[in-house]
């Protein structure tokens, strides 16, 4: 699978607490500290992405057209998502939000247009 497909797969999985769909399925929310441990810190045979380095992962997001959103953008309308975001924020963690117009939970057919630049 290519990077966007792997990202989609972990977002749809219930295995990970460090990454979720946000803002109505239009953005990816990443609880950075837990993500480093839970996703990037996995053993070689269980590794999701080819890297264990957060900077490399973020470079991949950028290479596929994702843009970082400021932390003050409108939060999720969904109560579970909002509560997860608030719980993570209250623990002084860093939540990162990334957006790509072709990466939308409601429109999986757009995923094929999410290409490396």
CATH classification of the domain holding 72 = 1.10.10.10
The answer as to whether 31 is a domain residue is yes
- What pLDDT is recorded for position 4? 94
Tell me the two tokens of residue 46.
Answer: 């269980």
CB atoms within 10 A of CB 43: 6
User: 115 in a domain, yes or no?
Assistant: no
Considering the domain boundaries, does residue 94 fall inside one?
A: yes
Predicted pLDDT of residue 56: 94
Q: Does 97 or 70 have the greater pLDDT score?
A: 97
d(CA 48, CA 30): 15
Question: How many structural domains compose the chain?
Answer: 1
> How far is the C-alpha of 99 from the C-alpha of 65, rounded, in Å?
8
Domain with 91, as residue range(s), is 3-100
In a domain, 110, yes or no: no
Sign of CA dihedral 31, 35, 37, 38: positive
**C-alpha span between 75 and 48 (Å, rounded):** 27
pTM given for the model:
0.78
Domain-located, residue 55: yes
Is the Cβ–Cβ distance between 40 and 57 less than 8 Å? yes
Q: How confident is the model at residue 108 (pLDDT cuts 50, 70, 90)?
A: very high
How would you list the strands of the sheet with 27-31, edge to edge? 19-22, 27-31, 95-99, 67-69
77 pLDDT higher than 90: no
Residues 46-56: tens digit of each pLDDT: 788 888 889 99
Give CA–CA dist 2/61, Å, rounded: 12
pLDDT at 58: 95
């Amino acid at each position: 699978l290519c990077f966007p497909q792997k990202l989609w797969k972990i977002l749809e999985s219930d295995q990970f607490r460090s990454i979720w769909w946000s803002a109505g399925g239009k953005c990816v929310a990443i609880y950075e500290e837990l993500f480093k441990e839970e996703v990037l810190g996995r053993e070689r045979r269980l590794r999701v992405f080819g890297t264990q380095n957060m900077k490399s992962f973020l470079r991949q997001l950028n290479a596929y057209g994702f843009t970082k959103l400021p932390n003050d953008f409108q939060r999720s309308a969904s109560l579970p998502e909002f509560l997860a975001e608030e719980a993570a924020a209250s623990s002084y963690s860093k939540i990162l939000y990334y957006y790509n117009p072709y990466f939308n939970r409601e429109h999986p057919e757009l995923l094929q247009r999410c290409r490396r630049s």
